[in-house]
Amino acid sequence: MGGSGSAPVVVSGMVVSNPSTGDYSITNGWFFYNGEMIRCESSSVSGATGGSDVYVSITETSAPLIYFDGSTPNVINEKTASLAVLPTGTVADATRFPLTDLNPYGKVFGAANRDAAWKTLSVSTSVVDGGVSGTVYYKKDHTTNTLHIRGVLTASNAQNFAASPGSLYYLMGSLPAAYAPVNTGYFVAQYFGAGLIKDDAGVGWVKQINCGLTNGGNLFANWIKPDLSVSAYGIVFNDILPLD
């Protein structure tokens, strides 16, 4: 259902209409709520204004069957739902919830299975290692088992990077183990500037650099030493990496 199963999810029917202020109608259908399939009966309400809201109210009923011995125990147990008007702020529970809480099947599948907020990694390397600073943002999508990683990094002491052609991968920091790939993942960061700069050998333009995230969660960047006239430059990246 795209989540824990505690939120109400429409499986079929249950078309809601709002013909006028405070008036609501719903058609027959089925929804999944708190781990159960519940039948919704068509119903209409009015007066959901001025301190009142429309809710989906769940009622449990029991009906008997006639057994061979003539007894009639209540063995047909059913939960049905219909619309009801309740005071604003009425707490949702196993027997009711606001109509606005209904979600169509599949609507929240992606959102419910990825990190809701970006996590951050602050980068700050020594002057010897280029004096790199900035922030890396990352979040995980559990549905596809991928990592979305983005950020902007600036090397304030770029002349301290290893000279060409022996450029090195510099450690930018480490992500938690849950965000590390099974195999090292590589991605490309773009040079962040209006005009291009030459590398220290003067034979190529610094357009992009390679980056990698190891299975230990270590984030590396293959910084390139620029022309002697350039003391600092930045890179930007926005990539999705498989974690399996």
* Overall average pLDDT of the 98-122 stretch: 83
Query: Which residues, 6+ apart, have CB-to-CB distance to 21 below 8 Å?
Result: 49
Confidence band for 143, pLDDT divided at 50, 70 and 90? confident
Q: Is the pLDDT of residue 75 over 80?
A: yes
What is this structure's pTM? 0.61
Q: What is the pLDDT of residues 162-172, one digit of tens each?
A: 999 888 999 99
Q: Which domains does the chain have, with CATH numbers?
A: 9-112 (no CATH), 119-242 (2.60.40.1830)
What's 136-199 look like in SS3? EEEEEECCCCEEEEEEEEEECCHHHCCCCCCCCCEEEEECCHHHCCCCCEEEEEEEECCCCCEE
Pull the structure tokens for residue 139. Answer: 């979040």
How high is the mean pLDDT of the chain? Answer: 93
Q: What is the pLDDT of residues 10-69, one digit of tens each?
A: 999 999 999 999 999 999 999 999 989 999 999 999 999 989 999 999 999 999 999 999
What's the chain look like in SS3? CCCCCCCCEEEEECCEEEEECCEEEECCEEEEECCEEEEECCEEECCCCCCEEEEEEEEEEEEECCCCCCCCCEEEEEEEEEEEEEECCCCCECCEEEHHHCEECCCCHHHHCECCCCEEEEEECCCCCCCEEEEEEEEEECCCCEEEEEEEEEECCHHHCCCCCCCCCEEEEECCHHHCCCCCEEEEEEEECCCCCEECCCCCECCEEEEEECCCCEEEECCCCECCCCCCEEEEEEEEEECC
In the chain, the percentage of residues whose pLDDT exceeds 70 is 95
24 close to 18: Cβ distance less than 8 angstroms: yes
How many Cβ atoms from other residues are within 10 Å of residue 58's Cβ? Answer: 22
